[in-house]
Amino acid sequence: MAPDLPARLFVDEVRERLWACAVIDPDLVLVEFGSPAARAVLADAEVLLTGWGCPTVDEVVLAVAPQLRAIVHAAGSVKGHLAPACWDRGIVVSTAADANALPVAEYTLAMILLAGKSTHLIERRYRQQRSAIDLHTDFPEIGNYRYTIGIVGASRIGRRVIDLLRPFDLEVVVSDPYLGQSEACELGVGLADLDDLLRASHIVSLHAPSLPSTRHLIDRRRLGLMRDGATLINTARGALIDQAALTEELVAGRINAILDVTEPWVLPPESPLYTLPNVVLTPHMAGALGVELRRLGAYAVDELGRYAAGQPFRSPVTRADLDRMA
């Protein structure tokens, strides 16, 4: 993982639990696997504890790590770090994606409730106008009562958002090709195809993985299905939306957007999205940051403890999961 990451992941109490269940050099952090020193470590390693910045574990790395039996990832998706050869070798893999899902879901909940009240539009106007705003006249439809929230993707994060929305007087509808009617009923949500969800929802939140099949899932046609004044929230991946078509809609002012991710990852300085009043733009901050990283570290060490005790992982990643993983 990145060399500065362990200090942010593992507080003292978690470090003690780590040392209690594993033989580990706390000062050794591999940032590459190609040097003689790294290969010497890999030769005896039974478990890799990985995180952001981990080099790819592929056939070449596996060839010099004959004892490797498990990989515990102290972050979300392992797709960019682990080659399919890891599963071919029978290595068991764990992820802390569940721990990273919570802050994303919390961010999404906050933005849904703020969007329902048109908080961002009103806040900008108030600062610019510097005088009283007639909220009843200018914003007669604001609020969080009986509005429809569309969740695109019943993923880990999508399901956490659904859970967090339960106390509120909102109608939740989900679109996910892998979600059946019976499971939707168990979740307490309506089930709709994507087009119908976009037509019906006041707020749409994206929680689908970025795959070739989901690239520009929200394209020009589907953006056109959204109701006037609706809000689109994206905390997933920028590639899910046709950025050029979205920009046109936002410049026209027909819909609103809360974007924590875009395509490209950082928009060019001349993008109008930086200044549009109907856009909230944040720099990929929904996931674990600051003290929230400690949750990832604790989760990963819990998983390592399970492995050391001969127990199955709480959050295993299988080869089949790769096809549906971001």
Total of domains in the chain:
2
Q: Is 119 a member of any domain?
A: no
Residues 257 and 308 grouped into a single domain = no
CA 191 from centre of chain:
22
Q: Is 113 a member of any domain?
A: no
Which residue bears the tokens 């939306």?
241
Sign of CA dihedral 216, 221, 222, 228: positive
* Catalytic-residue membership of 106: no
Q: Is 107 a member of any domain?
A: no
CA dihedral 304, 309, 314, 318 (to 10 degrees): 80
Choosing from 8, 222, 237, 295, which is the catalytic residue?
Answer: 237
* Catalytic-residue membership of 263: yes
Residue 324's pLDDT is 79
Mean pLDDT by 10 residues, the chain (326 residues): 96 96 91 96 97 96 98 93 95 96 98 98 96 96 97 97 98 97 97 98 97 96 98 98 98 98 97 98 97 98 98 95 78
Choosing from 216, 254, 284, 306, which is the catalytic residue?
Answer: 284
Residues 226 and 300 grouped into a single domain = no
* Catalytic-residue membership of 227: no
Domain range spanning residue 239? 145-281
* Long-range contacts (CB closer than 8 Å, 24 or more residues apart) made by 219-223: 219/245, 220/245, 222/194, 222/195, 222/198, 223/249, 223/255
Residue 13's pLDDT is 97
Residue 9, domain CATH: 3.40.50.720
Q: Is 270 a member of any domain?
A: yes
Residue 79's pLDDT is 87
Q: Is 311 a member of any domain?
A: yes
